[in-house]
Amino acid sequence: MIQLTLQDGRRSLRVRVAALAAIILGFASPAASEPVRKSGYTLGTETCGSGDLAFPRLQIDMKAGFCAGLVASEEDHLKFPRSIIRVPGRDLFVVADMGGWGHADGRLLLLDPRAPSGQRFRELLTGVEYPFGLVIGPDKKIYASTAETIFRFDPLADNPRSTVETIIRHMPGRRITLPDGTKLDEAAHPLKQFVFDRNGRLFVNIGAHNDDCITPAPITNPCAAAEGASAMAAIWLFAPPSGGIFPALKPNDPDPPHTIYARGLRNSLALALHPNFPDAGYAFLQGENGRDLPDIFKPNEEINAIEQGRHYGWPYCYDLSTPSPEFRLVLQSGVYKSLCSANALYKPPLSLLPPHGAPLAMLYYHGAKFPELEGKLLIGLHGYRPTGSRVLIYDVDEHGFPKPAPAPVRYHVSCAADPTHNFQTDAGDVAAAPFDELVVGWHRVNGARPQGAPAGITVADDGAIWLVEDKNQTIIRIDRTAGDPRPRCPATRALRC
């Protein structure tokens, strides 16, 4: 029963009655009745993490024992973040925010996750064209890439721009000229991922100029853009001078020389070196973003074991050994004769990845927080189809290679009538390396979360795993959780896939 008490006459009574009516009729303040939403995620009172690293817990389906906390969102003015790296020796991170496609307004940001919400970022560099790669170099400095350059800088300096030292500056970028003279104002794959080995050698992704290199039929010659000493769809190798550190280029200095380390790789945005590489037998892995086809299960993405001098198929082969029909005549003679099936130049994938998964990040986990992950391979799948939007965990052998298992090997498909699917090629079921999922599915659930878009991954000093999402404009921290795992979002009509 609700009772009203008359205190100071009619005015007091009118105020109390109006307030009660507002509550009953649902006219109360939105802040008191509506859930908090950031970047499409609905946030409750639960947190992930502890102390000043406790962040609002996201309704993401996680492996048991893990949780995800939202560190930053679109409210922090993130536009299109694509990678993240920890500043050595500090509880700080550098974030590459590309700004979007077709722009030269990328930024490098400094993130202090312990700062109050809304005050966690500081702009370091602005007006950067397509920043993507972020790596700690052999000198423990932060290295970053644009569409055409690789440079190092000090993110902790009062004026970071004054510390920029470019080491490579004339790689194929957004605007290129093809061997036949065709000029492209926007090449399809201008982003530069890169890694250093422990000898200071630098391996750089030079993505293909377009999806498939298909020209008007009949195609009788190899893909010209992927040939020669400056081939695209390749990994370029730059060797440092004695001492292992690339010098800063002066205005008229030429770029350091490069060689083509491996060819036939459409877009190598996921690269990982085993810590013991280049010792004999240790892994150099690449996650291949394959050509686009309308079939949801074709082609598969790939994990490739990179070896110097080998060809990995693009644009002539996909999956394990399926020839691209457009290049039938090229595959009948010359250097690429029978490339996909009987040519020593070709190295087929070590394992297939889920089709259209779009691997954008790959690393070996090393950290104290999750001992069960120690030494395992993590791969982020960014793709927007039901086979993407997740983070995979691979067991690896003593040299860092995922371990294929005999067919059939199944993978999860979000929001499908059959929730799993065998790895297959045109020849049928095939062997593949099985994997676990750290973040599973991540499909959109109305009222709870958007579709996931993991782009970059790094590991902090404490072993926590950090992710960036470009499309959702977020930074996420993965920590240990206590108790039973959160129930997965139900497969109901609320799902939108």
390-423: pLDDT as tens digits: 999 999 999 999 999 999 999 999 887 789 999 9
Sequence-distant (6+) residues with CB within 8 A of 418 are none
By percentage, how much of the chain surpasses pLDDT 90?
87
Q: Which of 192, 206, 82 is nearest to 144 (CA)?
A: 192
> How do residues 271-298 score in pLDDT, each as one tens digit?
999 999 999 999 999 999 999 999 999 9
Beta-strand runs (E) in 269-342: 270-273, 284-288, 301-305, 317-318, 322-323
| Residues facing 128 on adjacent strands | 106
The CA radius of gyration of the chain, in Å to the nearest whole number, is 25
Q: Which stretch of DSSP H or E encloses residue 32?
A: helix 30-33
pTM of the entire predicted model: 0.91
Per the CB < 8 A criterion, the answer to whether 108 and 124 are in contact is yes
Which pLDDT value is given to residue 486? 54
* Strands 424-425 and 454-459, sheet pairing: unpaired
Helix, strand, coil in percent for the chain, rounding step 5? 10, 35, 60
At 76 the three-state DSSP class reads: helix
Q: Is pLDDT larger for residue 484 or for residue 497?
A: 484
Does the pLDDT value for residue 15 go beyond 80?
no
**What CATH architecture does domain 35-496 belong to?**
6 Propeller (2.120)
Which pLDDT value is given to residue 415? 82
Sequence-distant (6+) residues with CB within 8 A of 32 are none
> How do residues 126-147 score in pLDDT, each as one tens digit?
999 999 999 999 999 999 999 9
DSSP letter at 228 equals S
